Chains A and B, each alone.
Chain A
């Protein structure tokens, strides 16, 4: 019946995929354990000043200038472009900090510097945000699990949540491995990844459920392959369009949302992969069978059969 569709043997690679996923998870967890996340100001608390130069700035000179006025612990780096300087400072709140730093750097400088941004986050606020962020992610996963269990079936819900946890861990691992700044926008991106990856997984699960009810003779492996092949076109197209806009965002969106775009780029890649392999793999591992999905259908038919 599906003769015009090429059926790919996705499940033939299931063991390889499982190995690949586990390897990526091990690397991610390892990176998280060894490097940890490089939390941004939002989570750690502290102060930050962003200064705009007219010409490319000399970082060492800036460090010296700051030492002279007593900011010994200042971390100086460029932000997006060599004319844009980001300075991170300690914990105390000083309402005049931005102006003081600007004055110290402007001293003896012929070009005009501008204060682009000045942020202060209290240590406690940062800590709360870390807790809330973790809690929010767990809550999101839990509510999704409940919804999927209600709309589909428990095995599907475990599969979906496994895929989500897989994606989130790998994105976090990516940020730990490459020591990228993890700020509030990245956290937002990860929650968006949860939404995106889930969207993908649901579409695939939906088809798997449909085919389990329709294709009575085929084995679970065959049904999986058919379902994944049928949804492959859609999976690829949607991932393509999303990746296109994310590349636009990463390239043209500016430094402030660069972390956000990178997190989503990684997340969409992994999310696409996981909806094909992780969710389906977990379903296979749990021996999903027709009986898991039949009862509601049979009940409906009974009712329908009545004259």
Chain B
């Protein structure tokens, strides 16, 4: 008998290998040191004029750069060395000022023809690249308690409006509310009212010591909604702050029920990162000053999104951001965009008191941020950098008060859905989010990252070399074929990891090393079977065929069970361990493919077409 694969099978294998080779290729091109330039807000766009200004300043300062390019909303300047990159960052920061974010970055140098196929290199994890990882916990019970407080004042108002007289309202230990009524009649009407108007409550009645109570509890769904909202709000706030840090590829993501993970790869100044992530923006609601108001009682502010446009506001603050409970963009009855704002009870009272006498006047919302900037002073001829902290205030909304405002009102007359959602986002960013705490922090210095990569790559190379030599000595020609398959396995593994844009971590590298060691197992199983069949007296061609055939189920069973362990590892692991689990799982799949199909194709091509009397195995 002869061992031959049909043409389509050979072509399919060839196709997979070429495909894998192409998608693995981007990893061969080393990253450039780069500086990324983006506008700190939408009004500041990076354009060719700015980029030219930057490159001119680099030239005049004598900092060499490789190239500069403009992509959507961002400029990228590449450098040959890390030293040039650091020098350039200072020069560029000075040139463009605070309106632009200047971030250190590593830019891939993947050729265009590969990029156009969607191929790109693997991303490096924090442990390889250096950077900061934070795990923040959102205080959800507090968020629910705050929300319940808002409901309490709202319900009190409704009961008064409906003239349902109640004695008092108590907070219960389990997070509910109990309203005490003087009569069963009032109590029952209150229950009807609440059931009709609030779907987020479970309302029940209770008689105790001759008094009549209405017990209000949030439904599980309502609690979940509040929690999800609190997390989202914090995510938005954190994203805004992280963007301001100017990190090239930040990650801000929910993890589990109440945690948020923030990763800032490649960041150098970790102290600044922590300060900015921990800081808060606030809001100030103020009235526009009347025509003849004295300048001692007024202040002039610019609009945040429209520099140059200004408004004169009263110095008195009506309420601050921590009175804002919620802000959401939506559409009014005419389909016009609007932002609905909900204040807490205290905020509502203050707002009502002020707006009572101010209908038809205009009210502004100021966005207040704590910022810091580096200024360069010349002391005795030497340039010294100094950090100066300052507050930046900008108007985000100026609207006419149509009627007396309570704890719920809306801002209309907005330009479009884009503006309304932007405004709601800013209102929320400045509003009080549920408190957050740092529960985990990992900072890896760039030198340690570089060292980890170097050692990791070296151990992969040495491990691979040892295995290749061993296989060659032990199995000779078949060993050589297995080695070719093993090399393809590595290429495929890297290709799939790149396609999944999986992050490569140190344990991930360990996973690759381990895969190399274990990947030969399938080949060893097959070869051992072939040897056995030869010993049983089968002619070489039949031995090859039956060896591959009989080893197949064993390989399948053994790999599926290993895959189970890897999947569990992925499900329960975090960060680096997940990286290990991904590498291991992908490695199991690719090694099965290369060991079974690629080796078979190679064996067929080498031995399949001729009569054999002996096998070198």
Contact = CB atoms under 8 A, between A and B. Distances in A.
B441 A206 contact: no
11 contacts: A50-B448, A117-B443, A117-B448, A121-B440, A122-B135, A136-B571, A195-B562, A238-B518, A242-B518, A244-B467, A245-B514
Interface string A90-123: 0001011011000000000000001111111110
A254 B507 contact: no
B463 interface: yes
Contact of B507 (A129, A188, A202): A188
Q: Interface of chain B, helix or strand or loop or mixed?
A: helix
Interface residues of A, number: 75
Interface stretch (A64-72, A141-149, A170-178, A276-284): A141-149
Interface of chain A: mostly helix, strand, loop or mixed: helix
B205 interface: no
Given A234-B528, A248-B462, 17 more contacts: A4-B536, A93-B439, A115-B445, A118-B441, A185-B510, A185-B580, A199-B558, A200-B558, A234-B524, A237-B528, A242-B517, A248-B459, A249-B514, A253-B456, A257-B456, A260-B507, A261-B510
B261 to A, nearest CB: 11
B557 A206 contact: yes
Interface stretch (B1-9, B52-60, B235-243, B270-278): B270-278
B518 A119 contact: no
Given A188-B573, A254-B455, A198 B565 contact: yes
B521 A191 contact: no
B514 A192 contact: yes
Nearest to A184: B577
A120 B440 contact: yes
Interface string A242-274: 111111110111101100110010000000000
B471 A241 contact: yes
A245 B513 contact: yes
B448 A116 contact: yes
Given A5-B532, A245-B516, A254-B455, A118 B443 contact: yes
B456 A144 contact: no
Nearest to A96: B271
B441 A119 contact: yes
Q: Which of A192, A238, A251 has the most CB of B within 10 A?
A: A192
A293 B580 CA distance: 37
Contacts, number: 227
Nearest to B448: A116
A196 B438 contact: no
Contact of B554 (A184, A191, A203, A237): A203
Contact of A199 (B466, B521, B576): B521
B271 A248 contact: no
A125 interface: yes
Contact of B441 (A120, A191, A254, A261): A120
A7 to B, nearest CB: 13
A117 B445 contact: yes
B452 A254 contact: yes
Contacts of B559: 199
B445 A114 contact: yes
A122 B440 contact: yes
Interface residues of B, number: 73
Closest 4 pairs between A and B when the two form their complex, measured CB to CB: A245-B463, A122-B439, A242-B517, A245-B517
A247 B559 CA distance: 23
B525 interface: yes
A208 to B, nearest CB: 12
A1 B297 CA distance: 106
B565 A252 contact: no
Contact of A244 (B278, B466, B581): B466
A161 B80 CA distance: 55
Interface string B546-589: 00000001100111111011101101111011001100100000
B127 interface: yes
Contact of A202 (B445, B506, B557): B557
B458 interface: yes
A122 B135 CA distance: 9
Interface string B158-170: 0000000000000
Contacts of B305: none
Interface in B474-524: 474, 506-507, 509-510, 513-514, 516-518, 520-521, 524
Given A95-B271, A139-B568, A195 B561 contact: yes
A254 B554 contact: no
A252 B462 contact: yes
A206 B466 contact: no
A245 B510 CA distance: 10
A139 B561 CA distance: 13
Nearest to A1: B536
A133 interface: yes
Contacts of B525: 203, 234
Nearest to A146: B564
A116 B564 CA distance: 36
A26 interface: no
A159 interface: no
A230 B452 CA distance: 41
